[in-house]
Amino acid sequence: MTTDQHHEGGSRPAISHNSDSLIAPPLYSDHFHYFQFFISAGASNQGGEGWAQNSLNKWHFYTCPDLPMIRLTDEEERHVGFLLGTAIDDHGLLKHGAQIKLPRSATEADSGFSDWLSTIRGRYVSFIDSPNVARFDLDPLGALAAVYSLDHPVIASTWSLIKNPSDEYLRAALKDPICTLACQSYPAGLTRTDDVARLLPNFALHTNTWRVQRHWPRPTDFEKTDDPNKELQRASNEIRHIIDSLAEHYDIYLTLTGGLDSRLIAACTSKKALKRTQFVTFKYDDKLGDRIDCHISKLIAKKLGRPQTVINIEPASTQDSIDYLRRIGVSGGAGKASDFMNGAKKLNPQRAFITGFSNTIRSIYGHYGSNQFERVEDSYDAAKLLQRCELEGNARSKRAISEWREGLKDYPIEMIPFLLYNEIRGGCWSSPHQYGITKFAATVIAFSSRPLERACIRLTKKALEDNNPGIIANATEEIIKMNQPKLAEISFNDFNGTRKLVRRLTYNRFWRIGK
């Protein structure tokens, strides 16, 4: 099942790949370790300083020097494409310079390529230019985010690389609502300007026609499971495989908080990988919530017998915020410049950095899915969809989200919360922020796996058909218990033991107000 992703103003004519293309700007001096890329077609092979350069047929690739590139070949070993980024197959991490021979089905039809791509986890983009298949794709979460020009044959990691804004422009942008209100982004493929669009997870950009089309999920992914524990085990195995694959090559940083997502990742980490793991907790202030977060994370690290680094976060300067906006393509606010960019600089850049930023099983189905739409009509209401994402409901966003929803008219309604979270909240908000994270050997969201997503879908269908929301509501805790029962004994978002009693006795007393 495929549907076109529409853009504001209707469809545009196909782009001529013989026309003048945009040129990659100089690679910003502080971007060498941020996995940025710029892909263009045309006669020109000119790019700014700092880029590593490669080509394939009419396409030119400008990449950060340390962005891994894996060559894709057909069965006759002809070069037909690339994987860019941190890609993990069934056997482990695909290292820079590796070569993969695609099965014949992957070069003969789009469906075959989609099937093959579903076996690749991690944070990457793929590009194939064979006689029968020519397309650009994201990883399952769109964690290595990408945008593309609607007027030129250009694909880039961020809006900034296509538009090359000045510092003065970015300084002014800091005052925009998208940068000043919490958790804001441009939804449903929008970017800062109408001539650049964001590619959403689960969509492919067909490079011969310059049309975007949904390729996942497909009807077979809507099957109900008869064994929820089997799906929970599959999900935990996928998380473990991603971490194990990285731990084969790097020491690991795992972000750790008092919540569910990082605890889930820690629980799924194998004993072997845990030996190479150090936990990292960002401490923002001395208010109650932050003190609870640090308290719980220390208990988790102690239970697992691994070291923990607590980084005290200081406010970012205006210039830091400008730099952060440039890195993420002005796709949201600069608030995380203080931790993702500055705080993380205190860590060893030779390690891999693993986060669960905004992508847990419970998050996907808690805020977004547990309270199902009361009426079918609700799932078509643009304002309600935006409200569920906590996004501003301006006219431009409403049009975009309406077009996105229209493309799902033939899908089961229970899929809407999942895809809303995966594509709008994840693909348009959390994934672009990954470009703001400081330099590491690899940066990965531990949930970027198609088999894991299929497990989530099947669990949801089972929960709805059995009228048992607990299957989803308790999924994260069940996986934690399945892998590390001792971690489930530690409170979620509250102190443990005596400190919990003291907090309850003193909370909101006059001497603690404001703390």
Predicted local distance difference test score (pLDDT) of residue 284: 85
- At residue 293, what are phi and psi to the nearest 5 degrees? -55, -50
Q: What is the pLDDT of residues 330-351, one digit of tens each?
A: 999 998 898 888 889 899 999 9
Q: What is the DSSP letter of 192?
A: S
Question: Nearest Cα to 188, choosing from 7, 339, 392?
Answer: 7
What does the block give as tokens for 175? 């005052």
Q: CA dihedral defined by 392, 395, 399, 400, rounded to 10 degrees?
A: -40
* Burial of 285 (C-beta count, 10 Å sphere; 0-12/13-18/19+): exposed
Indicate whether this model's pTM tops 0.75: yes
Residue 512: exposed, middle, or buried by beta-carbon count in 10 A (0-12, 13-18, 19+)? Answer: exposed
Q: Are 308 and 157 within 8 A, CB to CB? A: no
- 392 band by pLDDT with thresholds 50, 70 and 90: confident
Least reliable range by pLDDT among 4-8, 10-14, 339-343, 350-354? 10-14
What CA–CA distance (Å, rounded) separates 506 from 510? Answer: 9
Q: Report residue 201: phi and psi, to 5°.
A: -55, 150
pLDDT band, very low/low/confident/very high, at 198 (cuts 50, 70, 90): very high
Q: Cβ(126)–Cβ(38) under 8 Å?
A: no
pLDDT tens, residue by residue, 35-55:
899 999 975 556 667 888 999
Interatomic CA distance for residues 165 and 28, integer angstroms: 12
Residue 29: count of CB within 10 angstroms of its CB: 8
Q: How far apart are CA 136 and CA 425, in angstroms?
A: 21
The helix/strand/coil state of 180 is helix
Residue 418 has what pLDDT? 81
Task: Name the token pair of 182.
Answer: 């919490």
User: Which of 35-44, 111-120, 133-142, 365-374 shows the lowest per-residue confidence on average (mean pLDDT)?
Assistant: 365-374
Q: Is the pLDDT of residue 6 over 50?
A: no
Q: Which among 336, 505, 501, 346 has a CA at the least distance from the CA of 433?
A: 336
CA distance 253 to 278: 5
Per-residue pLDDT tens digits for 280-330:
999 887 777 778 888 899 999 999 999 999 999 899 999 999 999 999 999
**374 pLDDT more than 70:** no
How many whole angstroms separate alpha carbon 26 and alpha carbon 157?
14
Integer Cα distance of 246 and 40 in angstroms:
31
**Stronger pLDDT, 8 or 310, i.e. the higher one:** 310
Percentage of the chain with pLDDT > 90?
57
Is it the case that residue 61 has pLDDT exceeding 80? Answer: yes
Q: How much is the average pLDDT of 130-152?
A: 96
Mean pLDDT (whole number) for 127-156:
96
pLDDT, tens digit, for every residue of 440-489?
A: 999 999 999 999 999 988 887 887 777 777 777 788 889 999 999 999 88
Residue 39 CA, distance from chain mean position: 20
Cβ neighbors of 9 (< 8 A, separation 6 or more) are 194
pLDDT at position 15 over 70: no
Q: Is the pLDDT of residue 412 over 70?
A: yes
Average pLDDT, the chain: 85
pLDDT at 68: 95
Q: Is pLDDT of 427 > 50? A: yes
Q: How far is CA 55 from the centre of its chain?
A: 27
Lowest mean pLDDT among 184-198, 286-300, 367-381, 442-456: 367-381
The per-residue b/e assignment along 263-280, b for 16 or more CB within 10 angstroms, e otherwise, is bbbbbbbeeebbebbbbb
Q: Residue 510's pLDDT is what?
A: 42
